Amino acid sequence: INICTRGSAESFVVLMPVLATVAIAISCSKNVTKKTVIMRAAVAGILHGLAIHAKLYPVIYTVSYMSYFSCREQSIEAEGGRGTFRTMPPLPVNQKDTTSDSTMTNDGLSRINSDSTVEQTLYPFPWFNPKRLAQLILLWIKRLFFTPSSIIFASFFLLTFGILTYLAVHLYGEEALQEGLTYHFSRVDHRHNYSMFWYWIYLARGRTALHGTSVVAVKTLSTMGRALLLPQILLMIYSSLGIAPHDLPFALFLQTFLFVTHNKVFTAQYFSWYLCLLPLCSHRIRWNTYSMMSALGLLGLSIVTWLGSAFFLEMKGLPVHLQVWIASIGFFISNTNLFRQFLLGYKGISKGDTYCDSDKKIR
């Protein structure tokens, strides 16, 4: 509510990704057919196109949606005996233990006792295996671009976004394209910015002001804004293909958290982008552990520290730029630590959960 009173329509903006996610989640209900998945893909594509037109950031979910739909459709075909599920051959590993009974650990995970030989199925990321890396790339090309549901989703998304963008440009001119789309690729704001990159941007702007409207200085700022997108893109692709086919709401939450944390501009409304997705997956995260509570406490402390130092800078006019930058680094570290706890505290999908197939391990 506070964000909206400042003039940002975040309540509408964050509603679109949530609706699209719910539309996809419903397609995971029991006895769903391939036709139903394709219809849900079309609906989700329309909502996704509307969401990106309203705010550009939901574009990071596109690959996640496509990977989820493709895996869901292929799993339905495999269940019905009408096709096969495209996957990579696993790396079997024989593990020697000393007993033969299996027990349950305190956290509910099944563990094989020693004295038995079990064959584990491993799918490690092939960082240093060019052959398997090529197989993985080819596998995802087939899944994303040669599966009807993912193609339908992408087509409806692009069609909706294209029509809305054309109408906006037709009604308001090139300014609509600049303010709504291209501006974000080179945006380098430094005020009210939680990101640790703000100080770099601030110093670069200072050099620009010192040299007037120097073409070199302006190009430096623009290039810097685009360069900072590269680590975000790499993180988004890695999480989209690795998590989304298994648990879409959790993947979208993690992706948004990653995107916001590593973004070169991080203002107050950005918190609402990932907090709106948290209710869809919060029950699959262990919150009552000491590590999680410590990570949340550290995040709270970093926010208070940043706000305190920013108050003296913005309201009192004191030269505490370096202190604010150090507080921003602490805020980034605390967010990274919390992200790690989300991964460690992930409980998985229960059988009563309708978001995805709970008894299938999609690879």
Segment 103-125, tens digit of pLDDT: 433 433 333 343 433 334 445 66
Long-range CB pairs of 233-242, under 8 A, 24+ apart, other chains included: 235/259, 235/262, 236/60, 236/63, 237/63, 239/64, 240/63, 240/64, 240/67, 241/63, 241/67, 241/140, 242/125
Check if the beta carbon of residue 110 is closer than 8 Å to that of residue 66: no
Report which of 251, 254, 247, 243 is spatially closest to residue 353, judged by C-alpha positions.
247
The residue with tokens 């002001």 is 209
Choice between 195 and 109, residue whose per-residue pLDDT is larger:
195
User: 120 by DSSP, 3-state: which?
Assistant: strand
The phi and psi torsions of 269 (rounded to 5 degrees) equal -70, -15
In sequence order, which residues have a C-beta less than 8 Å from that of residue 358 and are 6 or more positions away?
349, 350, 351
pLDDT at 219: 63
Choice between 294 and 359, residue whose per-residue pLDDT is larger:
294
pLDDT at 28: 58
Give the least confident one: 20-24, 27-31, 53-57, 88-92. Answer: 88-92
Dist CA 246 CA 348 (whole Å): 9
pLDDT at 141: 83
β-pairing, 102-104 with 110-112? Answer: antiparallel
Tokens in use for 234? 């790499």
Residue 148 CB coordination number (10 Å): 14
